[in-house]
Amino acid sequence: MQIHGTEIVDTFAEAFRMRYARLVVTAYDEHWLAAAVAAFTGYASSVIACDAEAAVERRLAGHETPDGREGAAILVFAPTADALAAAVPNRTGQCLMTCPTTAVFDGLAEGDERIPLGKHIRFFGDGFQKSKLLLGRRYWRVPVMDGEFLVEESLGVAKGVAGGNLIVQGESLEVALAASRRAAESLAELPGVITPFPGGIARSGSKVGSRYKKLRASTADGFCPTLRGRVETRLHAGANCAYELVIDGVDESSVARAMAVAARAAASPGIVAISAGNYGGKLGKFHFRLHEVLAAEENSPRSH
């Protein structure tokens, strides 16, 4: 299969079951919303070493948020609900409550289970906090120096899919970087997915294990151009740079669609091949075959 001269390798991305929560964050204006989002989603690229994987799902207009202010929907993924219950309140307390003018709401009221949020953070109010029940949902008003921090008591948690991916192989760094950026930006407003790495792109794709026993993962040496001749390369002839686009989503169909949209955005002259990372199918429950997801998207009513 080829798209715009780019070979789409007949391989698959291997993804995993994870739990996710959706936070709706609002603020006084775009400046403080951006500051809150940047702080909350920092150091949240991979659960290999981070407590969660998080990024903005999409921006929200005032008519889409509970308090009528512009906001952002943030998706947060972790291996278990307990892991989310540890990561999300910590990040909310340190990064959202501290940011001027923010408020935080549950964006997944229909989740399979719930984890505490304001239920924990309220104690920062030192006894001056107040609760409010509105339409069956409990909120906490925590006094802070610019007024009150409004936060929902708990968050819904549901089953998601993490680790869908594409590997974009280009003739040069410049070409591969531009194509990978197009791929990441093509998903900016696509519902139900995030790309948690910086700018949506990972330069340090990984493999399972290492020659160093304490490491769970190490560099994907087969995709490193400087290691040609020293390891069995997985780079196509003519490719001198590769970037990985990692996609987490609320379900299989969201990840599959995102992979197809991103692959079409990246395919272009100078992109030798688009492949994917997997572990032989032995670790991840979900296998996204590139040819299949592209064919499904092409035949979808959404693409016409």
Segment 165-184 mean pLDDT = 98
Q: Give the range of the structural domain holding residue 220, as residue numbers without chain letter.
A: 2-15+160-303
175 and 146 share one domain: no
- Polymer length in residues for the chain: 304
**pLDDT one-digit tens code per residue, 228-237:** 999 999 999 9
pLDDT above 80 for 165? yes
In which band, very low, low, confident or very high, does the pLDDT at 285 lie, cut at 50, 70 and 90? very high
User: Domain count of the chain?
Assistant: 2
**pLDDT one-digit tens code per residue, 248-258:** 999 999 999 99
Whole-angstrom Cα distance, residue 300 to residue 280?
29
Whole-angstrom Cα distance, residue 148 to residue 140?
9
Task: Specify the pLDDT at position 189.
Answer: 87
Instruction: List the CATH number of the domain containing 273.
Output: 3.30.70.520
165 and 148 share one domain: no
275 and 174 share one domain: yes
Last residue of a domain, one of 128, 158, 188: 158
89 and 110 share one domain: yes
**pLDDT one-digit tens code per residue, 259-269:** 999 999 999 99
pLDDT above 90 for 76? yes
pLDDT above 60 for 304? no
45 and 10 share one domain: no
Task: Specify the pLDDT at position 302.
Answer: 67
Angle of helix 290-298 relative to helix 252-266, nearest 10 degrees, comes to 90
Task: Specify the pLDDT at position 303.
Answer: 61
Sign of dihedral through CA atoms 59, 62, 64, 65?
Answer: positive
Lowest average pLDDT, out of 10-14, 75-79, 124-128, 282-286, goes to: 282-286
Task: Specify the pLDDT at position 234.
Answer: 95
167 and 267 share one domain: yes
34 and 126 share one domain: yes
Whole-angstrom Cα distance, residue 201 to residue 199?
6
Q: For the chain, where are the E strands, in sequence order?
A: 2-3, 6-8, 12-26, 53-60, 71-78, 103-106, 113-116, 130-134, 137-144, 147-152, 154-170, 193-194, 206-208, 217-219, 241-249, 271-275, 286-289
Q: What 3-state DSSP class applies to 258? A: helix
Whole-angstrom Cα distance, residue 91 to residue 200?
20
**pLDDT one-digit tens code per residue, 38-60:** 999 999 999 999 999 999 999 99
Last residue of a domain, one of 158, 182, 205: 158
178 and 188 share one domain: yes
8 A C-beta contact, residue 9 and residue 1: no
Segment 85-108 mean pLDDT = 98
In which band, very low, low, confident or very high, does the pLDDT at 7 lie, cut at 50, 70 and 90? very high
pLDDT above 70 for 1? yes
- CA 99 to chain CA centroid, Å, is 22
8 A C-beta contact, residue 234 and residue 278: no
Q: 27: number of CA atoms within 13 Å, CB side?
A: 21
122 and 53 share one domain: yes
Task: Specify the pLDDT at position 279.
Answer: 84
pTM for the structure as a whole: 0.94
Last residue of a domain, one of 123, 158, 193: 158
Round the average pLDDT of the chain to a whole number and report it.
96
Q: How far apart are the first and last CA of the chain?
A: 20
146 and 170 share one domain: no
Task: Specify the pLDDT at position 298.
Answer: 82
116 and 168 share one domain: no
223 and 286 share one domain: yes
